[in-house]
Each structure stands twice: as structure tokens, then as C-alpha cells.
Structure 1
């Protein structure tokens, strides 16, 4: 492996710093959708999710519970964007009525069933370039870097939010292992609900990990799941403090 001279190494380091600065400025200059939770929004570049951009979400572990949490996390973001939402998928395992619990009623959603990941990507790109939708959601098992670049460019061109819900296809293959052009990448896992003064189940809690954000640092947070308007909240007790990352091996479908 060739050894770089000190001057060449310095130029390379300066170029990388310039690229990082450009990425950060690009994110800060875009219109953003805040979560409405100050402690969370402060950690996001620009104070929220860039609306004309690609964002990726995945359940932390393969299985129904984390997959459902990630699905509802996506639905809650889409619900807070005004207008129609295009949701495209290649598997018939989405419990559509469950999206209402995240603030996304049936009259706002257009469903497109595809035969493969490639068709899902093509439908997403068309929807993003149309420019008349609030958001485009696509459920994907695998997507190459070139495909995510195309979606990012289409989102910028159409001024539309792209939400890619990564699906576990094999337990041993992390959907986030391949690189991506997404502005943010999120891992969502179920967490224990808080105790209630009476018998019953409390509001769902999720462990939300921002695994990557362009121009900013990753972080992990415990949050209460979406309410009927798609909004997250901090738990009333101390567990909202920052938690250590955890990537286990197990965990979807849109919760009933």
C-alpha cells in the first residue's frame, strides 16, 4: 500500500474537511420537519429532518416487534407532512389500519404494490419527481448506493420527502451494511413501557438510534411512540436520558 507524503496527506485531509463542511451547510440550508421535541431536534442538523431528502429507517432486530416500531416511526413522520403519501411495497404484510394509530388515515395514503425491490425503487423515484406528494415511502430489502443517489436527487428535484423502510430479508444480513446516500439513517427498537397506576399497557416506547446523519453526530434516545397525530414524546421518567447503543439479533409489521 503506497505511503502518502505529508503534503499530499495534508491536502487530502483539507479536502475531506471541505466536503464535510459542504455537506453540513447543505443540510442546514434545507427546509426541515422538526419532531417537536426540543431535546431531540437540537441533536439534528438543521433542527429536524430535511424535507426534500432521503431518510432510511430499519428495525434494530429482525422480527415483528422492531419492524412494527420502525414502520410506525416512518408513518408518524409522513403523517406530519401535509398532503398525500405514496406507500409502495413488494410484500403483502403491511397492516394498513395500524397506520391510523400513527396519525396517517387511509384517505391520505396511496398504495402501490410492486413485484420486486427494483420496482419499488422505480415507483419511489417517479413519485418523488412528480412533486405533488407530501412523502414517498418505499419498503426495500436491498438497494445499491447508485439507487439511493437517484432517490436523493429525485427528492431534491421534486421537493418531496423520501422515506425508505429497510426490511430484514435474512437474519444475518444487516440492511444498513451497504453504504447509502441517505441524509439520515435510523434504527428503531421496542423498549419497555412505563408503569401505569392501574392495570394495562402504557404508551409504547422505542429506542431510537440515529446511526448516521450528514453533517452531524449519531445518538441514541428512548422516546415514547407516536400519538394519534404522529408525534413522539419524552418519557415522564428519567429513561429519556441518552442510552448506550444496542444491536441485538432479533425484532415488524405495522402494529395493530
Structure 2
């Protein structure tokens, strides 16, 4: 009898907390890659909604940086709803995003003058709660700012994606600093798939899962996002000396 009363009191308390937070707490769900080798190493079998995820290029060059943004675009494309893309430099090449599955009619660009404003815009968009994902291009991601983004994402269940875009080599060092992100990825361009005839095959990436909460680090050689935003496991690791990839940022 006492146990039943205690359980009811706890249930009432949970309802009151949910009401104070602005609604019923959202159930944690994940977006699977639908690639067994990758989903197996991610808690829940995919990228968590209601969480912050980080993506960066494997090197300081624009090619790897563009691949990281395309990877993020493919993930955002597979969420439901409009996508807010926060940035300071409006130089994205939309046809490249569309090739990764993210079509222009789904994207709302939020332009800022300073990087600090990008982080503020991301938090505001996450708090709205009606978006599929919120993407932000930033060089630095301080721990305090990342915690605020993580909490805002948890509250509404919206996926937050930070694309770490470097302007110079020294800025890439900030990627090693701790953040509150649930996962952290590094993307490097590899030679495209070989074709039986002359031509350029599907681009390939080396995905490095640098950090994942309640999981282990891993790396995968994958075929780049297709027109639906999906990747697949690629055969062979290749040689990075002859890389190819799609242009994402306009000159």
C-alpha cells in the first residue's frame, strides 16, 4: 500500500516537472544511419535526437571541411521538418547540399555578424521546437555554449549540429577542447570509387567517431551521402593522395 502511494506521488511529481518545463518530456529517439557497422557502435542505434553533435574536416583545407558540412547536411536531410542553418558567411553552394539530400525549400538560413551570434541563434532555433535540425557553422565551441545547446536540444527533442569550419590551421586546434556534445566526428575525403570506365565515381569519406557518450571511438570508410542523405560502407580504404569531392562553398 505504501509502495503504491509512493509511486503515485513520484508520478505526480514528474507531471509537475514536465508542466514547468513547458510540456511532457520527450522520449529519446535516434536517427539510424541504416549502416549496421556504424549503428552498432552508437548507443540507441543511431544519432540521438535532442542532442548536440559535432562535425569537422579531417584537415585544415576546404575540401575536408566541405565534406564535413555535406555529411551534416545528409543527416539533417533525413530528419522531419524545416532545417535552420546558422552562419556568418552565406557562401554555401545549394546544388551540392541538394545532392546530399537537403533541398533548398527545406532550409532557412539565419545569418549573423559574429560567431557568438551564431551560437545564440542556434539556441533560439532549438528552443522553438518545431524544426527537424538546427545546424550552425562555428570555429570555436566553448564548453558553456555547448552545454546550453545540449540542454536546449534535450528540452525540445531537436537535433543540434555544430559544423566546425576553420579559417586557418591554428584554429583547428580548438577541436581538441572538451565540449558537451554527444558525438564528435571528423570527416576526410578519400579517392572516389573506381569505375569500370573512365570517369569519377561516388566520393568516399573516412569517418572518424572521435567521441561518443556511453560508447567507443571507431572509424569507417564510407560512400558519401547520396541524393537521400544516406551513406554506405565503402570497400577499400584507398590512398588520399588523389582526392576528389563536390564543391560546397562558393568562391
Please give the TM-score of this superposition, normalised by the length of structure 2: 0.83
> CA RMSD for the aligned pairs?
2.1
**Superposition pairs of residues 192-211 of structure 1, within 5 angstroms:** 192-211=191-210
When residues 40 and 255 of structure 1 are mapped into structure 2, their CA distance, relative to the original with a 3 A threshold, is farther
Aligned length: 219
Q: Distance in 2 between matches of 1:82 and 1:30?
A: 15
Partner of 1:35: 33
SS in 2 for 1:71: helix
Q: Distance in 1 between matches of 2:249 and 2:34?
A: 23
Structure 1: unaligned runs, 5 residues or longer: 1-28, 241-245
Please give the TM-score of this superposition, normalised by the length of structure 1: 0.81
Q: Distance in 1 between matches of 2:198 and 2:30?
A: 40
Check if 1:254 corresponds to 2:221: no
Cα pair 1:54 1:152 within 8 Å, conserved: yes
When residues 182 and 93 of structure 1 are mapped into structure 2, their CA distance, relative to the original with a 3 A threshold, is same
Structure 2: unaligned runs, 5 residues or longer: 1-26
**Superposition pairs of residues 232-247 of structure 1, within 5 angstroms:** 232-235=231-234, 237-239=235-237
Check if 1:101 corresponds to 2:99: yes
Partner of 1:79: 77
**Superposition pairs of residues 52-63 of structure 1, within 5 angstroms:** 52-63=50-61
**Structure with higher RCO (Cα < 8 A, 6+ apart):** 1
When residues 252 and 129 of structure 1 are mapped into structure 2, their CA distance, relative to the original with a 3 A threshold, is farther
When residues 210 and 252 of structure 1 are mapped into structure 2, their CA distance, relative to the original with a 3 A threshold, is farther
Q: Distance in 2 between matches of 1:73 and 1:226?
A: 7
Q: Distance in 1 between matches of 2:246 and 2:134?
A: 19
Cα pair 2:81 2:106 within 8 Å, conserved: yes
